[in-house]
Structure 1
């Protein structure tokens, strides 16, 4: 698709699906392509990089700002999740975003709505199984539902997601393929601070001491990824990484796992045998951090090649 190089367009803010679709009809009538960047707000540089990627890939960019209740369990931080829509709008305007869609819960989920989406289960498998699916079993159904609604509402040519939520990205890609949704799903590499910590809205919860501990997460993960790439047994690699995180000061570790890149299935042989990703979730105080990275340069016996 060709991307317009016209003068900047002031940010529009709409709060209803009817308003959103009205704007989309106008853009389509002009032959403009559209990118969608779904967010829960509290925007940071990582989100803004997604918007910039949308600007490279389409003529217009819609950024949704919606704290989605269907992906939170009763005990999780829905009420505490940071909300700063005025600041979000300023950042989007400065970045060149064209429209902020900020619906209410009732606008997004009409009273009485009963439709749910499941992307795989224990019988069929799928990327929603295990990892975050074990520790936050409500999450991916909620993510799939809200993303499906946003894709339907915007009818975007492309949607841009961050790779920090790798399992979520794989769930969305699987859903889009299975439901024949004609939107290209693009994953943008994780944006990190100068110490390698993945940017996240939840980083704001960290104290100064906790932040120093958090910055060990990507270092320990990279060391584990290198060991996995070298062919070491994954059970040992994963267990040692958990121990290293606890020694570094994390209070608990939900998982460290090396999985197949796209399906997120485990390697049945216990060693890396193809494209792989290492994923983790760990807690410091009241903050739960996730991260992941590719397992680079693994060698496979008998293949004589590298991925």
Structure 2
């Protein structure tokens, strides 16, 4: 597996492909890849002639008390996964390559970042949008692939691309889950066996909420109350947020009379996990 860590080198390789008329797919990641990432890479390989996987633990999207220093990293393992999934190369820049010492430009998106994860992580999506914009400028992909587990991120990136007229197709891909229903995440590695069992409560609570919606319950307060009660049955769980929001504005709704995103963030001891589902009207 070819690993490139310089911007000029990745641009030269992509330009060479494009001169041959080849399409390029990009899968942006922070590494420590799992089956969810693997599904994105496979999808990209099916739909493009060449696939670039970026591996960069982006400091701009971590808050001051978050897990930047301890975020799991294993490039050798990631290289094996990329090769098996059909990637052609890995772009693995250093922080200095991505952000020179007097870097001073960021990308802010208003409205869509105020709720859900953006409420408790106020600088997070500025970091996400800045690094993704940079990756699009560096790699110039035809398509870029993101998982629905990070649904707010997916919708925000789609809006950024639309608002800034970026010439890339954003492809959202389904959540990949473990056998017990827990959404795949690099942060799952933080969980002990007992915590991993406890974390199943996220999916159980969302399933209960979805079942109630499908049975005709439309009052959001009632749904939130039931989801909250379900999660609170797990002693190791502490709720960060439970929100039901409009799929376009990502603002709270009172009644489900339109397509919505039902999103939750829950701490299992010290590990913050997110999950969601979309209900379309």
Q: What TM-score comes out, normalization by structure 1 length?
A: 0.89
CA distance in 2 between counterparts of 1:84 and 1:107 reads: 20
CA RMSD of aligned residues (A): 1.1
SS of the counterpart of 1:209? helix
CA distance in 2 between counterparts of 1:262 and 1:197 reads: 26
1:49 alignment counterpart: 39
Q: Counterparts of 1:125-274 in structure 2 under 5 Å?
A: 125=111, 127-229=112-214, 230-267=216-253, 270-274=254-258
Structure 2, gaps ≥5 residues long: none
Which of 27, 34, 42 pairs up with 2:17? 27
Is residue 277 from structure 1 mapped to residue 256 from structure 2 by the alignment? no
Aligned residue pair count: 280
- Of residues 157-166 and 211-220 in structure 1, the stretch that sits farther from structure 2 once superposed is 211-220
1:303 alignment counterpart: none
1:288 alignment counterpart: 272
List structure 1 runs of 4+ shifted beyond 3 angstroms.
none
Is residue 90 from structure 1 mapped to residue 90 from structure 2 by the alignment? no
Please say if residues 226 and 295 of structure 1, whose CA atoms lie closer than 8 Å, have aligned partners that are also in contact. Answer: no
Q: Which digits, 9 at most, give the CA deviation of each residue in 1:77-124, with x for residues without a partner?
A: 00000010111011111222101000000000111010011111xxxx
Please say if residues 242 and 255 of structure 1, whose CA atoms lie closer than 8 Å, have aligned partners that are also in contact. Answer: no
Q: CA deviation at 1:271?
A: 1.2
Please say if residues 163 and 187 of structure 1, whose CA atoms lie closer than 8 Å, have aligned partners that are also in contact. Answer: yes
**Bigger Rg, which one:** 1
SS of the counterpart of 1:266? coil
CA distance in 2 between counterparts of 1:264 and 1:189 reads: 19
Structure 1, gaps ≥5 residues long: 1-10, 297-306
1:105 alignment counterpart: 95
CA distance in 2 between counterparts of 1:250 and 1:222 reads: 19
Q: What TM-score comes out, normalization by structure 2 length?
A: 0.97
